[in-house]
Amino acid sequence: MKQTAHGPAGTGSEAPDRPAGADETTAVRVPAQARPAAPAPAPSGGDAAAARGEHTHGKRPVPRAPSVAEHARPVVQRSSVRGQILQALRSALVTGELRPGEVYSAPALGERFGVSATPVREAMQQLALEGAVEVVPNRGFRVVERDARELAELAEVRALIEVPVLLRLARTVPAARWAELRPLAEATVRAAASGCRVTYAEADRAFHRAVLGLGGNVQLVRIADDLHRRAQWPPGGAAAGHARTELMADAAQHVGLLDALIAGDPESVRAHVDDHFGTPTP
């Protein structure tokens, strides 16, 4: 994210939001994921009204998740904006586009997204609950600076939750059920090969959710996924995310672990679990 994405240090207050009534019914513009630019025909009629941000009753466009750094702005409906903003901000945390220690104001980000400050502020407040940012009164939200110790602590907590469950499931889940997770494991390999940290982060969590989901404990899956997401944010002062070679190694561990689970080899499962979580199993 460019430096201009946040308000200048020491500003007295944030800019006012758009009128509440307009947010509920008016189509708004947000940046879309990067894609090749294509020429568009001149809008007319209802299309022209939608392009101006006016309410229309015609066909609704398909919502697309925005990226903090991009400027293409397809029209989407207000009800989907908060979720798209939250997804974009989470991705920006993984890539380091939202830099640890920096303060970002909701009005400044809202202007960049082409929306009011309200959905941006709501998304930032959710990130504050997740421990990613902290509120700075009258300025905005500061991205939390984390160190290697915090990452190590998160890894330890994840291991305490996931490893016992995984080892128990290794003894009780039939091979055919494990085999159903093959596409998810292979998806992590493709994501790692792409070098896209955001794509890999999503594929990584999807695989772990599916593994834990075989235990049937929804609350455990939810808590473990939240810890996993927090562990994916890079520490302050470090290059964002992992190098491609590290992503490939991590993805290969998924495949090796799944192979051991399908084979019903408990010793191999333990070895792969130790390798993947970095802690000896009890």
Tokens of residue 59, six digits = 């066909």
Lowest mean pLDDT among 34-48, 172-186, 266-280: 34-48
Element (DSSP H or E) covering residue 243: none
Give the tens place of pLDDT for each residue, 227-263.
999 888 876 655 444 578 889 999 999 999 999 999 9
Report percent pLDDT > 90 for the chain.
Answer: 51
Dihedral sign, Cα of residue 33, residue 36, residue 42, residue 47:
negative
d(CA 200, CA 245): 12
Tokens of residue 240, six digits = 């964002």
What does pTM read for this prediction?
Answer: 0.67
Give the tens place of pLDDT for each residue, 168-184.
999 999 999 999 999 99
Contacts of 181 (CB under 8 A, 6+ apart): 207, 210, 211, 258
The average pLDDT across 27-44 equals 43
Kindly report the number of other CB atoms within 10 A of residue 149's CB atom: 9
- Closest by alpha carbon to 132, among 191, 123, 4, 216? 123
Highest mean pLDDT among 55-69, 91-105, 198-212, 267-281 belongs to: 198-212
Give the tens place of pLDDT for each residue, 66-76.
454 443 444 43
The predicted pLDDT at position 236 comes to: 60
- Closest by alpha carbon to 89, among 77, 76, 79, 102? 102
